[in-house]
């Protein structure tokens, strides 16, 4: 198991947003967190990263209990976090943004360029001049350069054009083939159906439904929980 949450309660300023969440991400599995705005997806990902207060329960990563560790230690242990607000360095070029993130491991500039050839085409362009889709690809690529052992993607397709969403789906599927475990928060059910093995549907900080994507896509409650 790459990640296991047990009875996780977490939130802000003493007020829990997540209530007793149990969740697992297997080795090489792509797992989605679904739920409408405010359901607690971002809070859950931040709790895994150590960026919000945990009130009860455990975060176990490759068998290690993370709860006492600060987020920089979690990053050093190989948790690769891609936040929803695309934090690239606008003054640095694409190539520099990638090289600055590099840590030893199988991921290199060459490998990232092989998976995302568009980034090589624009490698000398400054981060601040990229389109939203290019910035999202660069953000994910930069996290891959840190050689993560688990990838956390917060709404990777938000606000992106269909062609770019397709590129990101292709990338996630390639990562899955390589055995990279991924936990992703999403509202885009089509994208999730393409890339994820399983999903958990959150509502007001609790898991309402979980199952394989095939099972969930056939349940009417899913559309209701996502207010589609």
Which residues on adjacent β-strands are paired with residue 183?
A: 31, 152
How many Å apart are CA 155 and CA 27, to the nearest integer? 21
Q: What's the min distance (Å) between Cβ of 207 and ligand ATP?
A: 13
Are 133 and 167 spatial neighbours (Cβ–Cβ below 8 Å)?
yes
Residues 167-186 that bind ligand ATP (CB under 6 A): 185
- Compute the distance between CA of residue 223 and CA of residue 219 in angstroms, rounded to an integer: 8
In degrees and rounded to multiples of 5, residue 136 shows phi and psi of -65, -45
Distance (Å, whole) CA 43 – CA 125: 33
193 to 212: interface string for ligand ATP, x by CB under 6 A: --------------------
Measured from the CB atom, the residue of 15 and 163 that comes closer to ligand ATP is 15
Of the candidates 144, 150, 153, the one whose C-alpha atom is nearest the C-alpha of residue 108 is 144
Tell me if 50 contacts ligand ATP by CB under 6 A: no
Of residues 19 and 113, the one with the C-beta less far from ligand ATP: 19
Minimal distance, residue 62 CB to ligand ATP, in Å: 24
User: Which of helix, strand or coil describes residue 85?
Assistant: coil
Binding mask 10-49 for ligand ATP (x = CB under 6 A): --x----x-----------------x-xxxxxxx------
Nearer to ligand ATP, 85 or 110 (CB): 85
Residues contributing to the site for ligand ATP (CB under 6 A): 12, 17, 35, 37-43, 185
């Amino acid at each position: 198991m790459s990640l296991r949450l047990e009875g996780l309660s977490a939130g802000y300023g003493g007020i829990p947003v997540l209530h007793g969440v149990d969740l697992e991400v297997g080795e090489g599995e792509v797992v989605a967190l679904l739920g409408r705005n405010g359901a607690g997806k971002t809070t859950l990902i931040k709790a895994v990263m150590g960026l919000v207060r945990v009130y009860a329960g455990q975060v176990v990563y490759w068998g290690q209990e993370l709860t006492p560790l600060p987020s920089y230690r979690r990053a050093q242990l190989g948790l690769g976090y891609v936040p929803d607000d695309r934090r690239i360095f606008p003054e640095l070029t694409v190539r520099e943004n990638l090289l600055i993130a590099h840590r030893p491991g199988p991921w290199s500039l060459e490998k990232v360029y092989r998976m995302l050839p568009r980034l090589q085409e624009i490698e000398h362009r400054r981060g601040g001049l990229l389109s939203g889709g290019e910035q999202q690809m660069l953000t994910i690529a930069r996290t891959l350069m840190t050689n993560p052992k688990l990838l956390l993607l917060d709404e990777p397709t938000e606000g992106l054009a269909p062609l770019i969403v397709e590129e990101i789906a292709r990338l996630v599927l390639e990562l899955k083939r390589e055995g990279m475990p991924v936990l992703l928060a999403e509202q885009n059910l089509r994208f999730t159906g393409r890339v994820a093995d399983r999903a958990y549907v959150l509502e007001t900080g609790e898991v309402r439904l979980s199952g394989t994507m095939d099972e969930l896509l056939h349940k009417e409650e899913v559309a209701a929980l996502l207010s589609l």
